[in-house]
Chain A
Amino acid sequence: QQQVKQSPQSLIVQKGGISIINCAYENTAFDYFPWYQQFPGKGPALLIAIRPDVSEKKEGRFTISFNKSAKQFSLHIMDSQPGDSATYFCAAGNDMRFGAGTRLTVKP
């Protein structure tokens, strides 16, 4: 029962580059789309979230782009830093189904 599909599974980016992670969902009733960041040995923490009434939300270096017709949303990390190296999860749904996660490595 995979309601949220996330890609890529892993991503390596040079410092200063742009990291892009994508998610696709199935249920058009979903109305809240958060991204979580998880460091090893820790629980995920909310990074940024969007509702379907807007197509883009930006917080600092992090931007969510939302395409309602395509049922897709993506996370863009501008000027990626080594400290951004973590696993990122998208989520959706009333009881929060999560994507499989993307392990991001930012090389110095």
Chain B
Amino acid sequence: DGGITQSPKYLFRKEGQNVTLSCEQNLNHDAMYWYRQDPGQGLRLIYYSQIVNDFQKGDIAEGYSVSREKKESFPLTVTSAQKNPTAFYLCASSIAGGSNQPQHFGDGTRLSIL
């Protein structure tokens, strides 16, 4: 079955540590997205990529970094500069960037601070 796989499902970070969240899709979609979900705040866009080797900052990119070296992969690194990283992180993809395209989501990674 085609879909988006996020791993791990749960992740714990120590103070001062960088952690990387994995997102892989086999839908052959060009566009991929990372969102952060906090209670009562909905989904906030961190980064998005409309094509391989290109990505743009979303609304809350500070303290995060991404890469898009392969079409099917869009890993997110939560750096030590992100002072409040505890959240539910969601990866999504769509056929192409721009409007008129529904997004397909993974089942998320829950990041907590030790």
Contact = CB atoms under 8 A, between A and B. Distances in A.
A6 B108 contact: no
Given A42-B107, A43-B92, A43-B105, A31 B42 contact: no
A73 interface: no
A98 B108 contact: no
B2 interface: no
Kindly name the residue among B43, B56, B100 whose own CB sees the greatest number of chain A CB atoms within 10 A.
B43
Given A43-B92, A95-B48, A89 B42 contact: yes
Interface core residue of A42, A51, A95, A98 (most chain B CB under 10 Å): A95
B59 A1 contact: yes
Contact of B100 (A32, A44, A95, A99): A32
B97 interface: yes
Interface string A33-50: 010100001111110010
Interface string A68-95: 0000000000000000000001010111
Interface string B80-114: 00000000001010000111111111111000000
B45 interface: yes
B16 interface: no
B95 to A, nearest CB: 12
Interface residues of B, number: 28
Q: From DSSP, what is the main secondary structure of chain A's interface residues?
A: loop
A43 B108 contact: yes
Interface in B35-55: 35, 40-45, 48
Interface in B1-25: 4, 6
Given A41-B108, A42-B107, A42-B108, A98 B43 contact: yes
17 contacts: A6-B42, A30-B99, A36-B105, A43-B4, A43-B92, A44-B43, A45-B105, A49-B102, A89-B42, A89-B43, A91-B103, A93-B99, A95-B33, A95-B45, A95-B58, A96-B103, A98-B42
